[in-house]
Homo-oligomer: A and B are copies of this chain.
Amino acid sequence: MTLRVGVIGTGAIGQDHIRRITNTLSGAKIVAVADVNVEHAHAVVKNEKIDANIYGNGHDLIQAAEVDAVLVTAWGPAHEEFVVASIKAGKPVFCEKPLAPTADACLRIVEAEVTHGKQLVQVGYMRRYDEGYRALKKVVDSGKIGEPLMVHCAHRAPSVSNFSGDMAITDAFVHEIDVLRWLLNDDYVTAQVILPRNTRLAGKGLQDPHIVLLETKKGIRIDTEIFVNCQYGYDIQCQIVGETGTANLPEPSSVLLRSEAKLSTEILTDWKERFIESYDVELQEWIHSTVKGEMNGPSAWDGYVQAVTADACVKAKQTGQIVPISLPDRPAFYDKNQFYEFSVVR
C-alpha cells in the first residue's frame, strides 16, 4: 500500500518534504498540496513534476477523498486549525514544529486528540531520528553508564541574522527541550537561565550566549549553552554523565586531515547538513508507521510539554529566577507510546 499524502503549505520546508517523499523515501506519494497562495502551489507542483491536486484551502485538502494523511507545513499560527481539522477527519497528521505558537493552543490540540480517542498527531522533532542521538539513547538505556545524573549540552551556530528577543530559547533550545526528555525518559520541574558575558559579535542588543539550567523529576541536572553567534560552526554537543561513566553524542563523521601543522576534522557550518538525514528517517518511519496504523513519534503531548517548558525558560530569563515548570497529569491516553522505543538502530 502506498500512503497518499496531502501537504498544507508549500514554503521551503513543505517543498523539502515533497521532494523527500517523491524522490528518496519509500511507500508514499504526494497526491495533494494546498497553499493560500494557489499560484505558488501550482508552481511547486510543476517544478517538482508531481501529479497532485491543488487546493487553495487546507481544510478542503484535509477533506479530500484521495488524501490518506496530512502533512502540515503551513506557518505556525495556522497549525492548530489544520491539525485539529485532521483529527476531526480521523486522518493521521504530521505537523512541523512548533505544534502551535502557544501552550494553550497545544493543549487544545491534545484535548481534541483525546476526545477523538485515537492518536493521530506527530510533531516534527527530527533529532529523535538522528543516528547519533539514537546511538546515545541506546547507550543510556543499556545501563552502560548507570543512572543519568547530569547532562551537559551545547547548541552552537556560527551566526544568526534574524534572531531577536527570546529566540535563542524559542527557536534553538526547543530542540534540546524535546530530545532530552526523550533521551532521559523524564520531565522537567524547574528552569533557570544564566546570561554570560555577551559576545561582541552578536547583532546589536542581542544577548548571546545563554546558559539554561533544567532540573528533572528524578533530580537530573541539565546545563545547556546556547550560543548562536559562536562563529566557528554549527556544533551540537551532548554529554550524559551517569553513575559509572559518561556518553557523548557522536561527532559527525569526517575525514581526518593532517595539513598545515594541524590534525583536524571538519565542523559543519550549516544546520541543514547536521540533521538532514534525520528528516529522511523521521518521515520514512512516519510513513511506515502510518500505513500500519501506528503512531509512535513525538506526540501532541510532547508538543505541549515543549511549549510549557519554553515558556518557563523565557520567564526564567526575564526574571532571573528559578521558575517551576508545572504540567497537568499526562492523559493515560498517551502512555503507550510516549517514550516509544525505536525498533532498529545501527
Contacts and interface: CB of A to CB of B under 8 A. Distances in A.
A38 to B, nearest CB: 28
Interface string A278-309: 00000010001000000000000000000000
B250 A250 contact: no
Given A150-B225, A196-B219, A259 B209 contact: no
A78 interface: no
A279 to B, nearest CB: 13
A346 B255 CA distance: 12
Given A232-B245, A263-B264, A263-B265, A211 B223 contact: yes
Given A25-B26, A262-B264, A199 B149 contact: yes
A255 B250 contact: yes
9 contacts: A22-B26, A145-B257, A150-B196, A199-B243, A232-B258, A248-B255, A250-B255, A263-B266, A273-B346
Interface in A227-251: 227, 230-233, 235, 241, 243-251
Contacts of A213: 194
B232 A152 contact: no
B209 A150 contact: yes
Contacts of A253: 131-132, 135, 250-253
A244 B233 CA distance: 9
A315 interface: no
B149 A196 contact: yes
A218 interface: yes
A147 interface: yes
A221 B196 contact: yes
A262 B262 contact: yes
A198 interface: yes
B262 A265 contact: yes
A284 B26 CA distance: 11
Given A197-B221, A263-B264, A144 B257 contact: yes
A232 B150 CA distance: 15
